[in-house]
């Protein structure tokens, strides 16, 4: 099979990248070894916070209408507090003239909606479910040999195959890697009270605890903590887990009545030393992973896709080889610096808000108080929550 672009990885970034490339007029195939379908009756464990900028891009790709036919939960207020400062710092979307900050969506819903639009696009070239076995760069194309025995020739390979990207490794691109020595426990919980469309986050000395609103009134939790404590919490039976979680969360939504689909994953920050090699370009987690405390991971990946496809379109209009290093370097300049800043900012928050040093505890309280009393500071954080920057 010969195509303009082969996207490797069918998660959020990969599915959206394939759709965006096809809509831009490039013949595109999507290679992934797993099928993704629309959510069933049960909620998926992993969810993402999608900000307004990402929502707008999904609307442009005509995937948002599909998403909103299923279960989505907007959130219009964010509440943040620490163990030492019980009064939450509140960010209200209305203060910035917004209806909402974004939506909490299941990861599979985002990917499946993009794939549904992709499959009806004339530029889509379907390939079977498979994985890449090898990559060879030829003078006139990149050749991908698949586990099914097929070979795909493509002008450009878009690596969206996650933090352990095979394509990144095959391309010889290195990355920096920092292990937070933490894991995030994720689950869905039913609380005594409705969440009221509010996203809530408490900063603990061991890591942040987030309660994210879901469409049926339940919440998705992301509870980050040091590795030493995770196994202890996961071994609790459901009743004891709900009681412990309720105590830590200070029963802000009443009693935690039910917990479902508990799971955990390791927290690591990684960043590729470069975003492209010959005929290969990275997007999403293949290029960078970030601490989940601000819910930015999916949005950074979507912003990567947006910048990449815009760069490819500009190159085509200028009659440049869209797969060439000169073009791909422009994409890197658009995204790598801002991603670096964002990753570093999350490290600062992680160190400052997940640490039991007395001086930092005092500074945390003062920091939140300063923001709460400053309209300018609050407006800045409100704009960031809505995705005012790429």
**Spatial distance between the Cα atoms of 266 and 286, rounded to a whole number of angstroms:** 16
Predicted confidence (pLDDT) at residue 378 exceeds the cutoff of 50: no
Indicate the SS3 state at residue 25: coil
**Spatial distance between the Cα atoms of 247 and 256, rounded to a whole number of angstroms:** 9
The band of 96, judged by pLDDT with boundaries at 50, 70 and 90, is confident
233 to 180, 218, 227, 255: CA distances (angstroms): 18, 21, 10, 18
Q: Over the stretch 114-138, which tens digit does the pLDDT of each residue have?
A: 999 999 999 999 887 899 999 999 9
Q: For the whole model, what pTM was predicted?
A: 0.91
Token pair of 318, please?
Answer: 């200028």
The band of 356, judged by pLDDT with boundaries at 50, 70 and 90, is low
**Residue 156 near residue 184 (C-beta atoms within 8 A):** no
Q: Residues 6 or more apart from 276 whose CB is under 8 A from it?
A: 282, 325, 328, 329, 331, 332
Highest mean pLDDT among 254-258, 350-354, 377-381: 254-258
**Spatial distance between the Cα atoms of 369 and 372, rounded to a whole number of angstroms:** 5
User: Residue 224: in which H helix or E strand, if any?
Assistant: strand 219-226
* pLDDT score for 76: 94
Beta bridge partners of 4: none
The band of 40, judged by pLDDT with boundaries at 50, 70 and 90, is confident
Q: Residues 6 or more apart from 256 whose CB is under 8 A from it?
A: 189, 190, 191, 192, 242, 243, 245, 246, 249
Can you spell out the DSSP letters for 151-190? Answer: EEEEEEEEE-S-TT-HHHHHTT--EEEEEEEEEEEEEEEE
The band of 359, judged by pLDDT with boundaries at 50, 70 and 90, is very low
CB atoms within 10 A of CB 248: 17
Q: Which residues of 46-74 are buried (b: 16+ CB within 10 A; e: fewer)?
A: bbbbbbbbbbebbeebebbebbeeeebbb
Indicate the SS3 state at residue 99: coil
Predicted confidence (pLDDT) at residue 353 exceeds the cutoff of 90: no
* Tokens 């009681």, residue located: 243
CB atoms within 10 A of CB 273: 9
* pLDDT score for 82: 82
Token pair of 179, please?
Answer: 């292990």
Token pair of 342, please?
Answer: 């964002």
Per-chain mean pLDDT for the chain: 89
For the chain, helix (H) and strand (E) counts, in that order, are: 11, 18
* pLDDT score for 304: 98
* pLDDT score for 119: 95
Point out the least confidently predicted range of 84-98, 203-217, 262-276, 311-325: 84-98
Interval 281-300 mean pLDDT: 90
Interval 282-296 mean pLDDT: 89
CB atoms within 10 A of CB 253: 22
The band of 360, judged by pLDDT with boundaries at 50, 70 and 90, is very low
Predicted confidence (pLDDT) at residue 374 exceeds the cutoff of 90: no
Integer distance in angstroms from the first to the last C-alpha of the chain?
35
Domain ranges of the chain: 2-68+106-177+269-349, 75-102+180-267
CATH dotted code for 2-68+106-177+269-349:
3.50.50.60
* pLDDT score for 248: 96
Percentage with pLDDT > 90 across the chain: 72
* pLDDT score for 389: 45
* pLDDT score for 293: 74
* pLDDT score for 385: 52
CATH dotted code for 75-102+180-267:
3.30.9.10
Can you spell out the DSSP letters for 41-70? Answer: SSPPS-EEEEEHHHHHHHHHTT-HHHHHTS
* pLDDT score for 347: 76
**Spatial distance between the Cα atoms of 163 and 13, rounded to a whole number of angstroms:** 12
The band of 386, judged by pLDDT with boundaries at 50, 70 and 90, is low
Interval 210-225 mean pLDDT: 95
Strand ranges across the sheet with 256-272: 89-92, 77-82, 198-204, 207-213, 219-226, 175-191, 256-272, 288-289
**Spatial distance between the Cα atoms of 215 and 235, rounded to a whole number of angstroms:** 28
The band of 357, judged by pLDDT with boundaries at 50, 70 and 90, is very low
The band of 257, judged by pLDDT with boundaries at 50, 70 and 90, is very high
* pLDDT score for 97: 86
> Residue 100, Cα to own-chain centre: how many angstroms?
19
Predicted confidence (pLDDT) at residue 103 exceeds the cutoff of 50: yes
Predicted confidence (pLDDT) at residue 169 exceeds the cutoff of 70: yes
120 to 18, 23, 317, 334: CA distances (angstroms): 12, 10, 25, 30
Predicted confidence (pLDDT) at residue 203 exceeds the cutoff of 90: no
């Amino acid at each position: 099979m010969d195509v303009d672009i082969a996207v490797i990885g069918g998660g959020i970034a990969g599915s959206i990248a394939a759709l965006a490339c096809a809509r831009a007029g490039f013949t595109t195939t999507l290679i992934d070894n797993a099928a993704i379908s629309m959510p069933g009756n049960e909620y998926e464990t992993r969810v993402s916070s999608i900000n307004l900028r990402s929502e707008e891009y999904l609307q442009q790709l005509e995937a948002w209408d599909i998403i909103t036919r299923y279960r989505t939960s907007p959130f219009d207020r964010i509440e943040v507090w620490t163990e030492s400062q019980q009064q939450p710092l509140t960010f209200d979307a209305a203060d910035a003239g917004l209806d909402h900050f974004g939506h909490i969506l299941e990861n599979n819903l985002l990917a499946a909606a993009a794939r549904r639009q992709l499959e009806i696009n004339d530029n889509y070239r379907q390939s079977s479910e498979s994985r890449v076995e090898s990559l060879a760069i030829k003078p006139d194309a990149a050749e991908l040999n698949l586990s099914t025995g097929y070979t795909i020739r493509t002008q450009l390979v878009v690596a969206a195959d996650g933090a352990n990207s095979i394509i990144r490794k095959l391309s010889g691109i290195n990355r920096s890697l920092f292990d937070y020595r933490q894991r995030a426990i994720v689950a869905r919980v039913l609380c005594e009270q409705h969440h009221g469309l509010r996203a809530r986050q408490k900063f603990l000395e061991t890591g942040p605890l987030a309660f994210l609103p879901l469409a049926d009134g339940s919440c998705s939790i992301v509870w980050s903590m040091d590795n030493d404590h995770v196994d202890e919490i996961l071994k609790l039976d459901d009743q004891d887990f709900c009681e412990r979680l309720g105590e830590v969360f200070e029963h802000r939504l009443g009693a935690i009545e039910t917990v479902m689909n508990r799971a955990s994953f390791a927290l690591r920050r990684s960043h590729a030393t470069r975003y492209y090699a010959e005929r290969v370009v990275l997007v999403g987690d293949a290029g960078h992973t970030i601490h989940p405390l601000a819910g930015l991971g999916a949005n950074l990946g979507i912003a990567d896709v947006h910048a990449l496809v815009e760069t490819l379109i500009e190159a085509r209009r200028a009659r440049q080889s869209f797969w060439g290093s000169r073009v791909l370097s422009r994409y890197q300049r658009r995204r790598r610096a801002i991603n670096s800043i964002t990753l570093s900012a999350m490290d600062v928050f992680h160190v400052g808000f997940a640490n039991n040093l007395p001086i930092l505890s005092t500074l945390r309280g003062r920091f939140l108080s300063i923001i709460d009393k400053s309209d300018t500071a609050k407006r800045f954080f409100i704009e960031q929550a809505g995705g005012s920057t790429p």
